[in-house]
Amino acid sequence: MTEELFELELVGGSIEKAYRQMRPEVEAMPWGTLDPREYPEELIRAARKSWTGAAFQEHRTGAACAATLQSLIEARAPLDLIALASRFPLDEMVHVELCSRIAMEFGGGAELTYEPDAMVAKIGHGEEPLMKAAHQVVAFFCVGEALSIPLLHGTWKACTHPLTRAVLKRIVTDEADHGTFGWAFLDWVLPHLEPDDFEALGATADLAIAGVLANWEAIRRRPPASDAHVHDLGWMQTDAYLELAERSLQRQVMRPLSDRGIPTRPLEAAV
């Protein structure tokens, strides 16, 4: 696969005007209030890398939402579920802009390359439309989005700078529906499933959880940030973040899946 540089652009003109009318809160953020000269150079580099990575992850999530939306339409899921899900790709594109503009406030985005064909995991490949949608919802929403809400909320509550706090609050507000969507879909689809389907969905959840745990290991190896600035930059200290993450994984992901008859490996076994 050929890697490409992660770069973003706006068309401008009437297209951008229509976009701004759809989501005026982007321009209402307190842009220009963050002065990178107030922070050590090593933290500025880390912030540029972190917020560029956040923009890329939001971009990936937008692609995952769009792929799931297509599967829901193909499966003729209830119209109100489809209509709710149709908003999610737009939310994610807004989050991409917000995160990338934070990186620009710190002096510019960091170089990041990726493989376009690998942006979205091939979840549910080869399944009939309804089961494909179910696998995607479990991986992208019941694990990914359901876990992101408490982590984003915790980071927002810890944040102290007006700009990073406003951006995180916007993302948390949008993500509320993303996090509950997976459970709404499962509650509708469960009566349509066969016994073997529950085991298969559990295996998909285990794969998604394994990816989360691998990301935690990478976070655990990062050097600690300065207590004096970490909350300004939109971060939590590593130990506090990982403690919240593990607790949220148990309560917001594994327990609700179990309540719906979808088995997952114990966290100790997954680790």
The 10s digit of each residue's pLDDT in 51-64 is 999 999 999 999 99
Cβ atoms 146, 252 nearer than 8 A: yes
pLDDT in tens, 155-165: 898 888 999 99
How many alpha carbons lie under 13 Å from residue 207 in its C-beta half-sphere?
A: 15
Decide if pLDDT at 70 tops 70: yes
Closest CA to 46 of 242, 261, 258, 225: 225
Mean pLDDT of the chain: 91
Closest CA to 140 of 119, 171, 156: 119
Domains of the chain: 36-261 (1.10.620.20)
Give the global pTM.
0.91
Which residues are CB-neighbours of 60 under 8 A, at least 6 positions away?
A: 119, 120
> What is the DSSP code string of 208-227?
HHHHHHHHHHHHHTSPPPPT
Residue 268: per-residue pLDDT:
63
d(CA 205, CA 199): 10
> What is the DSSP code string of 122-142?
-TTTTS-HHHHHHHHIIIIII
Which one of 72-76, 115-119, 266-270 scores highest in mean pLDDT?
Answer: 72-76
Decide if pLDDT at 69 tops 90: yes
Task: State the amino acid at position 15 in one-letter form.
Answer: I
pLDDT in tens, 208-260: 999 999 988 887 877 665 556 677 777 777 788 889 999 999 999 999 999 99
